[in-house]
Amino acid sequence: MSRAPISETMTAPVTVGVSLGDRSYDILIGPGLVAKAGAELARRLPGVRAAIVTDANVAAHHLEAFQASLSASGVDAQPIVVAAGEKSKGFDTLQEVVSGILEARLERGDAVVALGGGVVGDLAGFAAGIVRRGMLFVQAPTSLLAQVDSSVGGKTGINTPHGKNLVGVFHQPQLVLADTDVLDTLPAREFRAGYAEMAKYGLIDRPDFFAWLEKNWQAVFDGGDARVEAIAQSCRAKAAVVARDEREAGDRALLNLGHTFGHALEAATGYDGSRLVHGEGVAIGMALAHRFSARLNLASPDDAARVEAHLSAVGLPTKLSDVPGGLPGAERLLTYIAQDKKVARGALTFVLTHGVGQSFVARDVPSSQVLAFLEESLRP
Protein backbone atom coordinates (compact mmCIF):
# COMPACT_ATOMS: atom_id res chain seq x y z
CA MET A 1 0.00 0.00 0.00
CA SER A 2 1.41 3.39 -0.94
CA ARG A 3 1.98 5.96 1.81
CA ALA A 4 -0.61 8.73 2.13
CA PRO A 5 0.69 12.21 1.37
CA ILE A 6 1.73 14.16 4.43
CA SER A 7 -1.33 16.42 4.18
CA GLU A 8 -3.49 13.39 4.94
CA THR A 9 -1.31 11.95 7.69
CA MET A 10 -0.71 15.20 9.63
CA THR A 11 -4.07 16.67 10.56
CA ALA A 12 -3.26 19.16 13.31
CA PRO A 13 -1.17 22.17 12.33
CA VAL A 14 1.58 23.38 14.66
CA THR A 15 0.46 26.56 16.44
CA VAL A 16 2.97 29.24 17.42
CA GLY A 17 1.64 32.17 19.43
CA VAL A 18 2.78 35.77 19.10
CA SER A 19 2.25 37.29 22.50
CA LEU A 20 1.32 40.98 22.24
CA GLY A 21 -1.40 41.53 24.85
CA ASP A 22 -4.77 42.20 23.25
CA ARG A 23 -3.12 42.06 19.82
CA SER A 24 -1.78 38.52 20.29
CA TYR A 25 -2.33 36.07 17.45
CA ASP A 26 -1.66 32.55 16.27
CA ILE A 27 0.54 31.33 13.47
CA LEU A 28 -0.77 28.00 12.15
CA ILE A 29 1.84 25.94 10.29
CA GLY A 30 1.19 22.71 8.43
CA PRO A 31 -0.24 21.07 5.34
CA GLY A 32 -3.77 21.58 4.03
CA LEU A 33 -4.38 25.03 5.54
CA VAL A 34 -5.65 26.61 2.31
CA ALA A 35 -8.60 24.22 2.47
CA LYS A 36 -9.16 25.16 6.12
CA ALA A 37 -8.73 28.94 5.65
CA GLY A 38 -12.47 29.65 5.39
CA ALA A 39 -13.30 27.69 8.53
CA GLU A 40 -10.49 29.40 10.49
CA LEU A 41 -11.61 32.88 9.38
CA ALA A 42 -15.29 32.22 10.03
CA ARG A 43 -14.51 30.84 13.51
CA ARG A 44 -12.00 33.49 14.57
CA LEU A 45 -13.53 36.56 12.87
CA PRO A 46 -17.28 35.84 12.73
CA GLY A 47 -19.20 37.72 10.03
CA VAL A 48 -16.06 39.08 8.40
CA ARG A 49 -15.89 39.94 4.69
CA ALA A 50 -12.52 40.03 2.93
CA ALA A 51 -10.35 41.31 0.12
CA ILE A 52 -7.84 38.68 -0.98
CA VAL A 53 -4.71 40.48 -2.19
CA THR A 54 -2.51 38.22 -4.27
CA ASP A 55 -0.17 38.32 -7.26
CA ALA A 56 -0.67 36.86 -10.72
CA ASN A 57 1.69 33.90 -10.13
CA VAL A 58 0.17 32.88 -6.81
CA ALA A 59 -3.35 33.43 -8.18
CA ALA A 60 -2.67 30.91 -10.96
CA HIS A 61 -1.78 28.22 -8.41
CA HIS A 62 -3.85 28.89 -5.30
CA LEU A 63 -6.52 31.59 -5.64
CA GLU A 64 -9.33 29.30 -6.79
CA ALA A 65 -8.85 26.85 -3.91
CA PHE A 66 -8.46 29.69 -1.39
CA GLN A 67 -11.63 31.43 -2.58
CA ALA A 68 -13.53 28.13 -2.58
CA SER A 69 -12.47 27.54 1.02
CA LEU A 70 -13.71 30.98 2.11
CA SER A 71 -16.92 30.67 0.16
CA ALA A 72 -17.67 27.21 1.64
CA SER A 73 -17.55 28.82 5.09
CA GLY A 74 -19.73 31.75 4.06
CA VAL A 75 -16.90 34.33 3.96
CA ASP A 76 -17.62 36.76 1.14
CA ALA A 77 -14.32 37.67 -0.56
CA GLN A 78 -13.17 39.92 -3.38
CA PRO A 79 -9.82 39.15 -5.07
CA ILE A 80 -7.34 41.93 -5.91
CA VAL A 81 -4.59 40.60 -8.17
CA VAL A 82 -1.38 42.63 -8.59
CA ALA A 83 1.69 42.02 -10.78
CA ALA A 84 4.25 39.62 -9.31
CA GLY A 85 7.63 40.92 -8.14
CA GLU A 86 9.30 43.45 -5.87
CA LYS A 87 8.39 46.30 -8.24
CA SER A 88 4.77 45.98 -7.00
CA LYS A 89 5.94 47.21 -3.58
CA GLY A 90 5.46 50.86 -4.54
CA PHE A 91 2.96 53.71 -4.45
CA ASP A 92 1.26 52.79 -7.75
CA THR A 93 0.32 49.27 -6.72
CA LEU A 94 -0.59 50.44 -3.21
CA GLN A 95 -3.08 52.80 -4.86
CA GLU A 96 -4.54 49.85 -6.85
CA VAL A 97 -4.98 47.79 -3.70
CA VAL A 98 -6.50 50.64 -1.69
CA SER A 99 -8.97 51.37 -4.53
CA GLY A 100 -9.91 47.68 -4.76
CA ILE A 101 -10.67 47.52 -1.03
CA LEU A 102 -12.74 50.72 -1.12
CA GLU A 103 -14.61 49.71 -4.26
CA ALA A 104 -15.55 46.44 -2.53
CA ARG A 105 -17.00 48.67 0.25
CA LEU A 106 -15.18 46.74 2.94
CA GLU A 107 -15.51 48.15 6.42
CA ARG A 108 -12.95 48.66 9.18
CA GLY A 109 -14.10 45.40 10.77
CA ASP A 110 -13.52 43.47 7.54
CA ALA A 111 -10.24 41.84 6.63
CA VAL A 112 -7.51 42.29 4.09
CA VAL A 113 -6.08 38.83 3.43
CA ALA A 114 -2.58 38.62 1.93
CA LEU A 115 -2.27 35.44 -0.14
CA GLY A 116 1.31 35.46 -1.38
CA GLY A 117 4.95 36.04 -0.58
CA GLY A 118 6.71 38.89 1.17
CA VAL A 119 5.85 41.52 -1.42
CA VAL A 120 2.12 40.80 -1.26
CA GLY A 121 2.18 40.57 2.55
CA ASP A 122 4.01 43.87 3.03
CA LEU A 123 1.83 45.65 0.46
CA ALA A 124 -1.51 44.24 1.62
CA GLY A 125 -0.57 44.77 5.27
CA PHE A 126 0.24 48.40 4.60
CA ALA A 127 -3.12 48.85 2.83
CA ALA A 128 -4.86 47.16 5.79
CA GLY A 129 -3.04 49.51 8.17
CA ILE A 130 -4.11 52.71 6.41
CA VAL A 131 -7.55 52.08 4.83
CA ARG A 132 -10.24 53.39 7.19
CA ARG A 133 -7.26 53.95 9.60
CA GLY A 134 -6.80 50.25 10.12
CA MET A 135 -8.69 47.15 9.02
CA LEU A 136 -8.32 43.57 10.16
CA PHE A 137 -5.45 41.72 8.49
CA VAL A 138 -4.78 38.04 7.81
CA GLN A 139 -1.57 36.64 6.36
CA ALA A 140 -1.68 33.50 4.20
CA PRO A 141 2.00 33.31 3.21
CA THR A 142 2.83 31.20 0.17
CA SER A 143 6.62 31.54 0.05
CA LEU A 144 9.15 30.13 2.51
CA LEU A 145 10.43 33.64 3.16
CA ALA A 146 6.97 34.88 4.05
CA GLN A 147 6.22 31.83 6.21
CA VAL A 148 9.38 32.13 8.31
CA ASP A 149 9.71 35.89 8.40
CA SER A 150 7.64 38.60 6.73
CA SER A 151 4.16 37.32 7.65
CA VAL A 152 5.05 37.51 11.35
CA GLY A 153 5.62 40.64 13.40
CA GLY A 154 3.56 43.34 11.73
CA LYS A 155 6.14 45.18 9.64
CA THR A 156 4.39 46.38 6.47
CA GLY A 157 5.39 48.84 3.79
CA ILE A 158 6.62 49.71 0.35
CA ASN A 159 9.93 50.68 -1.26
CA THR A 160 10.85 54.02 -2.81
CA PRO A 161 13.77 54.79 -5.14
CA HIS A 162 15.55 56.03 -1.98
CA GLY A 163 15.53 52.60 -0.40
CA LYS A 164 13.75 49.52 0.80
CA ASN A 165 10.62 49.57 3.02
CA LEU A 166 11.04 53.27 3.66
CA VAL A 167 7.29 53.97 3.84
CA GLY A 168 5.04 51.80 5.98
CA VAL A 169 3.40 51.10 9.32
CA PHE A 170 3.49 48.47 12.02
CA HIS A 171 0.18 46.62 11.67
CA GLN A 172 -0.14 43.18 13.24
CA PRO A 173 -2.24 40.48 11.60
CA GLN A 174 -5.07 38.74 13.47
CA LEU A 175 -3.96 35.36 12.12
CA VAL A 176 -1.19 33.76 10.04
CA LEU A 177 -2.03 30.62 8.03
CA ALA A 178 1.17 29.02 6.70
CA ASP A 179 0.13 26.10 4.49
CA THR A 180 3.33 24.13 3.93
CA ASP A 181 1.83 22.26 0.93
CA VAL A 182 1.93 25.44 -1.16
CA LEU A 183 5.73 25.50 -0.92
CA ASP A 184 5.77 22.57 -3.35
CA THR A 185 4.97 24.96 -6.22
CA LEU A 186 7.74 27.39 -5.24
CA PRO A 187 10.64 27.79 -7.70
CA ALA A 188 13.92 26.46 -6.22
CA ARG A 189 15.49 29.91 -6.27
CA GLU A 190 12.64 31.35 -4.17
CA PHE A 191 12.88 28.48 -1.69
CA ARG A 192 16.62 29.09 -1.26
CA ALA A 193 15.96 32.81 -0.76
CA GLY A 194 13.55 32.00 2.08
CA TYR A 195 16.06 29.59 3.57
CA ALA A 196 18.44 32.54 4.08
CA GLU A 197 15.96 34.06 6.56
CA MET A 198 15.61 30.69 8.28
CA ALA A 199 19.40 30.38 8.71
CA LYS A 200 19.35 33.96 10.05
CA TYR A 201 17.63 32.85 13.28
CA GLY A 202 20.44 30.41 13.97
CA LEU A 203 23.01 33.10 13.31
CA ILE A 204 21.29 35.66 15.55
CA ASP A 205 21.16 33.72 18.80
CA ARG A 206 20.35 30.03 18.14
CA PRO A 207 23.65 28.34 17.33
CA ASP A 208 22.09 24.89 17.91
CA PHE A 209 19.49 25.62 15.23
CA PHE A 210 22.23 26.71 12.83
CA ALA A 211 24.16 23.50 13.50
CA TRP A 212 20.93 21.51 12.99
CA LEU A 213 20.38 23.26 9.65
CA GLU A 214 23.96 22.52 8.59
CA LYS A 215 23.15 18.80 9.07
CA ASN A 216 19.51 18.74 7.95
CA TRP A 217 19.14 21.42 5.28
CA GLN A 218 18.58 18.87 2.55
CA ALA A 219 15.63 17.37 4.47
CA VAL A 220 14.19 20.88 4.89
CA PHE A 221 14.47 21.38 1.13
CA ASP A 222 12.91 17.95 0.49
CA GLY A 223 9.76 18.74 2.51
CA GLY A 224 7.85 16.79 5.14
CA ASP A 225 8.22 16.96 8.91
CA ALA A 226 11.76 18.47 8.89
CA ARG A 227 10.45 21.40 6.88
CA VAL A 228 7.44 21.97 9.15
CA GLU A 229 9.70 21.76 12.20
CA ALA A 230 12.22 24.25 10.76
CA ILE A 231 9.44 26.72 9.87
CA ALA A 232 7.96 26.39 13.37
CA GLN A 233 11.40 26.93 14.98
CA SER A 234 11.87 30.02 12.84
CA CYS A 235 8.47 31.44 13.77
CA ARG A 236 9.12 30.74 17.47
CA ALA A 237 12.44 32.59 17.22
CA LYS A 238 10.83 35.57 15.51
CA ALA A 239 7.78 35.63 17.81
CA ALA A 240 10.05 35.76 20.87
CA VAL A 241 11.90 38.84 19.57
CA VAL A 242 8.71 40.60 18.43
CA ALA A 243 7.00 39.96 21.77
CA ARG A 244 9.77 41.75 23.66
CA ASP A 245 10.29 44.64 21.24
CA GLU A 246 7.35 45.07 18.86
CA ARG A 247 8.40 48.40 17.34
CA GLU A 248 12.16 47.94 17.14
CA ALA A 249 13.06 50.26 19.98
CA GLY A 250 15.91 47.89 20.83
CA ASP A 251 16.83 44.34 20.04
CA ARG A 252 14.19 43.67 17.35
CA ALA A 253 16.92 45.21 15.18
CA LEU A 254 18.69 41.84 15.53
CA LEU A 255 16.16 40.48 12.98
CA ASN A 256 17.85 42.84 10.55
CA LEU A 257 21.03 40.74 10.47
CA GLY A 258 22.29 40.90 6.87
CA HIS A 259 19.65 43.47 5.89
CA THR A 260 21.71 46.67 6.11
CA PHE A 261 23.99 45.45 3.33
CA GLY A 262 21.18 43.42 1.69
CA HIS A 263 18.74 46.30 1.35
CA ALA A 264 21.48 48.50 -0.15
CA LEU A 265 22.12 45.80 -2.75
CA GLU A 266 18.42 45.54 -3.60
CA ALA A 267 18.17 49.31 -4.06
CA ALA A 268 21.41 49.36 -6.08
CA THR A 269 20.00 46.70 -8.44
CA GLY A 270 16.73 48.63 -8.88
CA TYR A 271 14.69 45.89 -7.09
CA ASP A 272 15.17 43.82 -10.23
CA GLY A 273 14.34 40.29 -9.12
CA SER A 274 16.04 38.81 -12.17
CA ARG A 275 19.31 40.06 -10.64
CA LEU A 276 18.71 39.77 -6.92
CA VAL A 277 15.75 38.75 -4.77
CA HIS A 278 15.44 39.85 -1.15
CA GLY A 279 16.62 36.59 0.43
CA GLU A 280 19.69 36.55 -1.81
CA GLY A 281 20.51 40.10 -0.72
CA VAL A 282 20.14 38.94 2.89
CA ALA A 283 22.43 35.93 2.27
CA ILE A 284 25.16 38.19 0.86
CA GLY A 285 24.46 40.67 3.66
CA MET A 286 24.84 37.99 6.37
CA ALA A 287 28.11 36.77 4.87
CA LEU A 288 29.34 40.38 4.72
CA ALA A 289 28.21 41.08 8.31
CA HIS A 290 30.26 38.10 9.50
CA ARG A 291 33.27 39.08 7.40
CA PHE A 292 32.99 42.72 8.55
CA SER A 293 32.85 41.52 12.18
CA ALA A 294 36.00 39.45 11.60
CA ARG A 295 37.65 42.45 9.92
CA LEU A 296 36.89 44.53 13.04
CA ASN A 297 38.37 41.74 15.21
CA LEU A 298 34.99 41.10 16.82
CA ALA A 299 34.70 37.52 15.57
CA SER A 300 36.94 34.80 14.27
CA PRO A 301 37.43 34.56 10.46
CA ASP A 302 36.63 30.83 10.92
CA ASP A 303 33.05 31.72 11.84
CA ALA A 304 32.74 33.93 8.78
CA ALA A 305 34.08 31.06 6.66
CA ARG A 306 31.63 28.61 8.28
CA VAL A 307 28.63 30.85 7.52
CA GLU A 308 29.76 31.39 3.96
CA ALA A 309 30.35 27.65 3.46
CA HIS A 310 26.82 26.78 4.59
CA LEU A 311 25.07 29.46 2.54
CA SER A 312 27.10 28.46 -0.53
CA ALA A 313 26.33 24.77 0.07
CA VAL A 314 22.59 25.44 -0.30
CA GLY A 315 23.24 27.49 -3.44
CA LEU A 316 22.91 31.03 -2.06
CA PRO A 317 25.15 33.91 -3.16
CA THR A 318 27.60 35.21 -0.53
CA LYS A 319 29.79 37.79 -2.28
CA LEU A 320 29.24 41.15 -3.95
CA SER A 321 30.68 39.65 -7.14
CA ASP A 322 27.81 37.10 -7.08
CA VAL A 323 25.34 39.87 -8.02
CA PRO A 324 24.86 39.64 -11.79
CA GLY A 325 25.19 42.81 -13.85
CA GLY A 326 27.70 44.54 -11.56
CA LEU A 327 27.23 47.02 -8.72
CA PRO A 328 27.87 50.72 -8.25
CA GLY A 329 30.95 51.77 -6.28
CA ALA A 330 31.36 51.72 -2.49
CA GLU A 331 30.39 55.42 -2.08
CA ARG A 332 27.03 54.80 -3.79
CA LEU A 333 26.35 51.69 -1.72
CA LEU A 334 27.12 53.72 1.40
CA THR A 335 24.50 56.29 0.31
CA TYR A 336 21.86 53.54 0.35
CA ILE A 337 23.11 52.27 3.70
CA ALA A 338 22.78 55.79 5.11
CA GLN A 339 19.01 55.67 4.30
CA ASP A 340 18.56 52.58 6.51
CA LYS A 341 15.82 52.90 9.11
CA LYS A 342 18.24 51.95 11.90
CA VAL A 343 20.31 55.10 11.33
CA ALA A 344 20.00 57.27 14.46
CA ARG A 345 21.08 60.92 14.48
CA GLY A 346 23.11 60.18 11.38
CA ALA A 347 25.05 57.29 12.92
CA LEU A 348 25.08 53.95 11.10
CA THR A 349 23.74 50.88 12.90
CA PHE A 350 24.72 47.35 11.90
CA VAL A 351 23.95 43.91 13.28
CA LEU A 352 27.42 42.47 13.90
CA THR A 353 28.53 39.29 15.60
CA HIS A 354 31.00 37.73 18.02
CA GLY A 355 30.50 34.38 16.27
CA VAL A 356 27.81 31.97 15.08
CA GLY A 357 24.65 32.66 17.14
CA GLN A 358 26.21 35.66 18.92
CA SER A 359 24.87 38.66 17.02
CA PHE A 360 24.50 42.08 18.56
CA VAL A 361 23.32 45.53 17.53
CA ALA A 362 26.28 47.86 16.95
CA ARG A 363 25.25 51.52 17.01
CA ASP A 364 27.52 54.27 15.73
CA VAL A 365 29.61 52.23 13.31
CA PRO A 366 32.03 54.69 11.64
CA SER A 367 31.12 55.16 7.97
CA SER A 368 34.85 55.27 7.12
CA GLN A 369 35.17 51.65 8.29
CA VAL A 370 32.10 50.60 6.29
CA LEU A 371 33.44 52.36 3.20
CA ALA A 372 36.86 50.73 3.49
CA PHE A 373 35.24 47.32 3.95
CA LEU A 374 32.96 47.81 0.93
CA GLU A 375 35.90 48.91 -1.23
CA GLU A 376 37.81 45.81 -0.17
CA SER A 377 34.78 43.57 -0.80
CA LEU A 378 34.20 45.04 -4.27
CA ARG A 379 37.78 44.32 -5.34
CA PRO A 380 37.95 41.40 -7.79
Give the residue numbers annotated as catalytic, written as ranges: 133, 155, 197, 238, 248, 252, 256, 259, 263, 278
323 is in an annotated binding site: no
Does 215 count as an annotated binding residue? no
Nearest approach, Cβ of 292 to ligand LNCXM5UN (angstroms)? 17
CB 145 within 8 A of CB 278: yes
C-alpha distances in Å from residue 132, one per residue of 105, 111, 112, 275, 306: 11, 12, 12, 37, 49
Q: Is 143 known as a binding-site position?
A: yes
Counting Cβ atoms within 10 Å, is residue 339 exposed (0-12), middle (13-18) or buried (19+)?
A: middle
Name the pairing type of β-strands 163-167 and 359-365.
unpaired
The bridge status of strand 175-179 relative to strand 136-141 is: parallel
Cβ(74)–Cβ(101) below 8 Å: no
> DSSP label at 51?
E
- Residue 19 annotated as binding site: no
Nearer to ligand LNCXM5UN, 38 or 202 (CB): 202
Can you say how many angstroms the Cα of residue 314 is from the centroid of all Cα atoms in its chain?
A: 18
Per-residue DSSP letters for 100-144? HHHHTT--TTSEEEEEESHHHHHHHHHHHHHGGG--EEEEEE-SH
197 in a labelled binding site: yes
CA distances from 206 to 200, 202, 259, 351 (A): 9, 4, 18, 15
The CA–CA distances, whole Å, from 94 to 82, 83, 160 equal 10, 12, 12
* Least distance from ligand LNCXM5UN to the Cβ atom of residue 316, Å: 15
Q: Which residues contact 142 (CB under 8 A, 6 or more apart)?
A: 58, 61, 62, 115, 116, 117, 179, 182, 183, 186
Q: Is 61 annotated as a binding residue?
A: no
Closer CB to ligand LNCXM5UN, 86 or 248, in the complex = 248
Q: From the CB of 323, what's the least distance to ligand LNCXM5UN, in Å?
A: 18
Residue among 69 and 88 whose Cβ is closer to ligand LNCXM5UN = 88
Q: Least separation, in Å, of the C-beta of 342 and ligand LNCXM5UN?
A: 7
* Nearer to ligand LNCXM5UN (CB atom), residue 151 or residue 318: 151
Which single residue brings its beta carbon nearest to ligand LNCXM5UN?
Answer: 165
Binding site for ligand LNCXM5UN (CB under 6 A): 149-150, 153, 155, 164-165, 197, 248, 252, 255-256, 259, 341
Q: How far is the CB of 262 from ligand LNCXM5UN (least distance, A)?
A: 8
Indicate the SS3 state at residue 345. Answer: coil
Q: Which is nearer to ligand LNCXM5UN, 126 or 292 (CB)?
A: 126
> With respect to ligand LNCXM5UN, which residue has the nearer C-beta, 261 or 373?
261
Residues present in the chain in total? 380
Spatial CB neighbours of 195, under 8 Å, sequence gap ≥ 6: 144, 217, 220, 221, 279, 314, 316
Q: Residue 259 annotated as binding?
A: yes
Chain centroid, CA 87 distance in Å: 16
Residue 87 labelled as part of a binding site: no
Nearest distance from C-beta of residue 340 to ligand LNCXM5UN, angstroms:
7
Chain center to CA of 134: 22
Residues comprising the binding site for NAD(+)?
118-122, 142-143, 155, 164
Residues comprising the binding site?
118-122, 142-143, 155, 164, 197, 259, 278
Residues comprising the binding site for Zn(2+)?
197, 259, 278
